[in-house]
Amino acid sequence: MKNNDERAREILNNTEIPEEVSPKNMKKMLDEKAPAKKRSRISVVGRITAAAAACAVIVGGTVGAMGLAERSKQNTKNQRQEMIKVESSSEASGTVEQAKAAPYMSGAESYEQVYELLAKANEQALNERGKQFGGVFTDGALVNGAIEMESPEAAMDMETAEFDKTAVQGADNSALYGGMGGGASEEPNDFVAVPVEDPTETEYTINTCKPIPTEAPTEAENPTEAEEPTEPAETEEPTEEPTEDTETEDDYSKTHNQEDEVLEADIAKTDGERIYYVCSKYSESDECLKSMMNVAAVDNGSFTETYQLDLTPDAVPEGDGWMTNITVNDMYLYNDLITVIGTANSYRNGWTVYGDDYKGEDFYEMDDMCFVSFYTKESDPQLVGTYYQDGRYNDVRIAPDGYMYLMTNYDTMLFNEIGGAECVDEYIPKCGVSERECIPPSDILLPGDTLDNSSILSYTVIGSVDLTASGEFSPCETKALAGYSGSLYSSANNLYTTVGWEDTDITRIAIGGGQIVPEASGTIEGYVKDQFSMSEYDGYFRVASTVDKWTNNGNFVTSMLDIDVESEHISDNRVYVLDMEMNIVGSVGGFGENETVKSVSFNGNMGYVVTYEQTDPLFAIDLSDPTEPFITDEFKILGYSTYMQQWDDGLLLGFGADADENGVETGVKLVMFDNSDPYDLKEVGLYSVNGDAEANEYVYSDAQWERKALLIAPEKNLIGMPVVVSEWGDEYREESKYMFFAYENGEFILRGELSSETDFDKYGEDVLNRAVYIGGYVYVLSGGRFISADIETMTQTDEVLFN
């Protein structure tokens, strides 16, 4: 018996998809129509630019009438002031940066320099695209603020002609609004059908400059030197040891750190007295997603006190009509602070701005920033403050010296949408505590005098926050690496960022005392999967990569028809050794052909790499001579590991997907490798949990994509993994459980499991996905409940629910 949900799905799915909407035809349609449509959009931007140009004339006059001293003190929120700000910050910054400039990557002299680089990159990208479309885009005029509306192609269909006509009319209106402050129009097209209440709020102005809520630029010029208020705190510091990971006697579990002293964040933490868990959950009463922190005080397997803290209000930045969703990603307990890290995604469109009856042209805008809220670590946590940094949360570390480094990825809109060099906050990332300010030009690091051809400028933004004083935080420095966006690995003294697919650029950034100093960069072939593919050891940087070569490169039809066919591309894997100048000194490749890197574990002079196609070859690589790494052994079993961690001397624990001989994934598994002899790898223990496919039963684990969901505690001989068993039988049933194992005499012994029926409607909120131990008890956690059990017997001792 199927339920009606299934049937309804069946009915909806039971439709022929007409050839008309096939990807192939859509591609054709795009190639025909997109250039014209885009041209019409270019015209739209042209209107705005014209308005800005009109504005610029006025500014010129204003500046002339104002004294220099007055300029920098102005703090009104209008475009003219913003333009002044740009000017004066560029004057001052050039000299400051000279001293700091590294030969390969130096700070920008001004925002305009950044803008011009992007303009150039955009022009090149457009030329490339022009070739692709068989025509040439000429929007260079945009940069100069002129309106370009002539269409080079004469042959246009009716629809295209309409687009351009609309654009022309719109252009006039916009110039009117922008230059003269508004006025209604009776043009009978879509644009003017907008319910115009305040002309500055119409869609024409949506993409123009937003005023930056910043102080005068001179004050923001050099935050590094300006903000050193931590001196007194640092002198007191020896008496106030940071509270995480410093006392080795603690009898509770901690987030496993890839590098011993470099602390990593997670959604769940404990200090041995309380358990903290952050999550986003649906609030029935408020009808929206809320970010919550669930906290429970524990005492020998009992929950003695619980509370929930709504993180949302502390994380939402100033509103101005945007719809904001808060997602909480990670947290720390460090130096008497609870630190919560998340992302605030804001969006607006026609309906959110003008209401339900909006009939104008569709538009969508998004604004993403990362927030870090700090709370006092008490039974009643109080907000200390929130730090904002533009971009999407990527990763974070706390270095051994007590400074936090937050990395976000920030992309601008398409160059055409930016609206001119004066719209600084459209292409320069911002950060700050109460109000976000544009990062000063000198802290925007340029990769040279060109950017890759692109209409979008991507940045990696790295901000450091001083956490050395107990219960306090203080932002130190922010650097934005222009034309750059990737993943992060951190040793105690260096951050490494990677970016790229076919080739990966790696940049080493020295850290210490809150300073962020890019020192060297280099390039390797292939892409880097994650942080565990990288390692710094003994003055060398080791990195594993997969080279993906597409056999059907450029052939659209084949690439599309076979999109999911692995054999479409040829892969090859590498391990490189680089010196601290990021020069390759040695490499080994050619292993795991047609397979991709699934997990890597570096351990001293050895590296272990799992690649996968159908079986799980584990390669051991000897790296003791950096110039001559070589493979010592290869060992194959079914399935593959998504994560590996050294369990004990000579034992490497793997967790991942189990699969049958045909490479069909059947469930999850734990595997122990004996790596005591790198020339003779062995499997010494395997435990798999497989679903019964015939009974429509499927098994997966959150740990397959989040290794922190595992609890790996050799000191307690305890391995924990979450498993979800779902059954699509007569009715849908889903069970979430957390399984605990001991490893003894070459096998995994199941010590017990704690489970919880999940409510499918809650979309995963109930799934048990973390576990910690404190003393003689384990605690299994989900967004909806905490369960405690005796560590020896695995019998449940207590449970608490969080709504």
Q: In what order do the strands lie in the sheet with 364-376?
A: 323-334, 337-349, 364-376, 383-390, 430-432, 437-438
Give CA separation, 517 vs 104, 264, 521, 800, in Å: 12, 21, 12, 47
> CB neighbours (10 Å) of residue 453?
15
Interface residue with another protein among 117, 372, 456, 638 (CB under 8 A) is: 456
Residue closer to another protein by CB (options 35, 586) is 35
Residue closer to another protein by CB (options 22, 450) is 22
* Residue 776 CB, nearest approach to another protein (Å): 39
Bridge-based pairing of strands 444-446 and 474-482 is: parallel
Residue closer to another protein by CB (options 117, 739) is 117
Q: Nearest 5°: CA angle at 549, between 548 and 552?
A: 135
Interface residue with another protein among 57, 152, 351, 382 (CB under 8 A) is: 351
Interface residue with another protein among 62, 222, 308, 345 (CB under 8 A) is: 345
Contact set for another protein, span 625-644 (CB under 8 A): none
Q: Are 407 and 488 in contact (CB under 8 A)?
A: yes
User: Per-residue x/- marks for another protein, 753-792, CB under 8 A?
Assistant: --------x-x-----------------------------
Contact set for another protein, span 561-620 (CB under 8 A): 563-564
Residue closer to another protein by CB (options 168, 323) is 323
Q: What is the DSSP string of 529-569?
A: -SGGGEEEETTEEEEEEEEEEETTTT-HHHHHHTTT-GGGE
What is the H or E stretch that residue 179 is in?
helix 158-180
Contact set for another protein, span 495-514 (CB under 8 A): 501
Inter-axis angle of helices 111-133 and 23-65, nearest 10 = 150
Contact set for another protein, span 520-549 (CB under 8 A): 548
Span near another protein by CB under 8 A; candidates 46-54, 358-366, 486-494, 694-702: 358-366
Q: Are 43 and 147 in contact (CB under 8 A)?
A: yes
User: Per-residue x/- marks for another protein, 153-172, CB under 8 A?
Assistant: --------------------
* Residue 394 CB, nearest approach to another protein (Å): 12
Give CA separation, 213 vs 85, 362, 437, 462, in Å: 11, 28, 7, 21
Count of residues in contact with another protein, rule CB under 8 A: 75
Taking the C-alpha atoms of residue 3 and residue 105, their distance in angstroms, rounded to an integer, is: 61
* Residue 107 CB, nearest approach to another protein (Å): 25
Q: Are 722 and 702 in contact (CB under 8 A)?
A: yes
Interface residue with another protein among 301, 350, 419, 784 (CB under 8 A) is: 350
Tokens of 497: 């960022």
* Residue 411 CB, nearest approach to another protein (Å): 5
Inter-axis angle of helices 79-100 and 111-133, nearest 10 = 100
Interface residue with another protein among 68, 102, 560, 695 (CB under 8 A) is: 560
User: Per-residue x/- marks for another protein, 416-455, CB under 8 A?
Assistant: xx-----------------------------------xxx
Residue 744 binds another protein, judged by CB under 8 A: no
Q: Nearest 5°: CA angle at 482, between 366 and 598?
A: 80
> Based on the number of CB atoms within 10 Å of its own CB, is 158 exposed (0-12), middle (13-18) or buried (19 or more)?
exposed
Interface residue with another protein among 62, 74, 138, 559 (CB under 8 A) is: 559
Q: Nearest 5°: CA angle at 258, between 617 and 245?
A: 150
Contact set for another protein, span 250-279 (CB under 8 A): none
Interface residue with another protein among 92, 168, 414, 749 (CB under 8 A) is: 414
Q: Where are the alpha helices (DSSP H) in 237-327?
A: 312-315
Residue closer to another protein by CB (options 408, 736) is 408
Contact set for another protein, span 5-64 (CB under 8 A): 5, 7-18, 20-24, 26-27, 29-31, 33-34, 37-38, 41
Interface residue with another protein among 100, 129, 716, 733 (CB under 8 A) is: 129
* Residue 750 CB, nearest approach to another protein (Å): 29
